[in-house]
Amino acid sequence: MQLHKYDSQTGQYTGSTLAEPDPCNEDRWLLPAFSTATPLPDRTRYTWPFHVDGAWELRPDYRGIMLYRQDDGSTAEILLAGITPEQAGLTSSPRPSDEYHFIEGEWVINPRVLLEREQETAMAEFDQRMARARKKTAGKADALAAGLLDPVPAALFKAWAAYQMALVTVLDQEFFPASRVWPEEPDEDAVATKAKGTEGEQPAQYPL
């Protein structure tokens, strides 16, 4: 007959052995303290048998499993059976990065970090667009003010200057950067065509 031993305090299963015959009665077997002939239950993964109130029951067993602390994501291990990762403040899921926090059973990225990242992305887009626009108007402001630009260059300068102002307006939107909508760049061909069309126009003549 096979006997199953358990811890005297916790009831945790500690091992099995063959029963020894009772030297005083050949029809009986010796049953040492804290052991039972009751068959062990079929274990499922992450469980371990405990003898409680005269019967076996399966309790959590995460010993030897790589776990992670919910507060900082560092590695940890459970050394005792009967404890779930949640009870120990642990999780089986690794922390994706320092930007994540363990909330309601899962790692989620900090909303503040998401906002900062979106802000950085939006400002990088703004800087790239503004840099291109400034190249288009570089060195031409004084010439325009002095009336030295021909109609087409003058029209292009004004179109790109207006585009720059529109870019700045996006930064002032209430829900920037989440709802940003960048203005379209000037259509240089259309601007030039329009400027050429008005280049030869003569002022209207009125009778004196």
Compute, in degrees rounded to 10, the torsion defined by CA atoms 107, 110, 114, 115. Answer: 160
Bridge partners of 55, per DSSP, are: 52
Q: Is the pLDDT of residue 55 over 50?
A: yes
Band (199; pLDDT cuts 50, 70, 90): low
Over residues 113-145, the pLDDT tens digits come to: 888 889 999 999 999 999 999 999 999 999 999
Q: Is the pLDDT of residue 24 over 70?
A: yes
Q: Is the pLDDT of residue 157 over 70?
A: yes
Same domain, 84 and 133: no
Residue 13: exposure state from Cβ atoms within 10 A (0-12, 13-18, ≥19): buried
Same domain, 153 and 171: yes
Same domain, 49 and 80: no
Same domain, 51 and 117: no
For residue 88, what are the domain limits? 67-109
Q: Is the pLDDT of residue 46 over 60?
A: yes
pLDDT score for 178: 87
Please give the average per-residue pLDDT across 26-50, as a whole number: 92
pTM of the model: 0.56
Cβ neighbour number for residue 39 with a 10 Å cutoff: 9
DSSP 91: E
Q: Is the pLDDT of residue 185 over 60?
A: yes
Phi/psi for 196 (5° steps) reads -65, -35
Over residues 56-112, the pLDDT tens digits come to: 999 999 999 999 999 999 999 999 999 999 999 999 999 999 889 999 999 998 888
CB 37 within 8 A of CB 31: yes
In a domain, 118, yes or no: yes
Same domain, 25 and 73: no
pLDDT score for 203: 41
Helices (H), 6-150: 111-137, 141-145
Between 22 and 153, the more confident residue is: 153
> How many domains are there within the chain?
3
Q: Is the pLDDT of residue 205 over 70?
A: no
